[in-house]
Amino acid sequence: MTNNDFKLEQHLPLVAIIRGVQPEDAIRVTQILIEEGFTMIEVPLNSPDALTSIKRLVEHFGSDYLIGAGTVTTPEQARSVIETGANLVVTPNFNEQVVKMSALAGCVTFPGVVTPSEAFAALAAGATGLKLFPISMLGLDGFKALNSVLPKGTICFPVGGINPSVESMKPYLDLGAKGFGLGASLYKPGLSDDEIRANAKGFVEALANV
């Protein structure tokens, strides 16, 4: 799976952000999420020994899923992520070099943006889609205005504070969002396997009921 052949309709449009996961837990946690339908897994680089977790996930699950890093903020970090074999790069900000490097390496790339200038620059640099982060800065009105000027079909994923409920998701989907990035409301260190599974089920069911 690369940037060039990415088709969102082939994926559950929810990026699982497993911030804080330990390398020894990464495969088990990801297996639970995949069993519940998730196909896009992000290990933020500010997690413990994140590159080790990513490499283990890539080696275990192969290229059938989108597995990679979040919180990628520098070209040096992007290079390290690409060297693990990851095929997903997510950033909290727009860094042109990071986007270009990641796209050139064939990674599906979602840079974080909040303004039209950032959004158009990210798309011009080769971004697969846009991470609207933090979505609280845009809100529904801001997202509606931004999406109205973006190229038709632009993949926009609101991130930050999305909960497993129709009420949380539907307003953004109605305005053109294609999916979401999910953080602490899906996974955080210390949750039991049953809790992780229950959270995953909750998001999948809420999305299905929108």
Q: Please say if 36 is a catalytic residue.
A: no
Q: Which of 9, 35, 42, 152 is catalytic?
A: 42
For residue 170, indicate whether it is catalytic. no
Name every residue whose Cβ is closer than 8 Å to that of residue 90 and which is 6 or more positions away in sequence.
15, 17, 42, 68, 69, 70, 71, 72, 109, 110, 111, 112, 131, 181
Q: Cis peptide leading into 151, omega within 30 of 0?
A: no
* Residue 128: strand, helix, or coil: coil
User: Do residues 200 and 32 make contact, with C-beta atoms less than 8 angstroms apart?
Assistant: yes
* Catalytic, out of 118, 131, 178, 188: 131
- Cα–Cα dist 73/29, whole Å: 25
Residues designated as active site: 42, 131
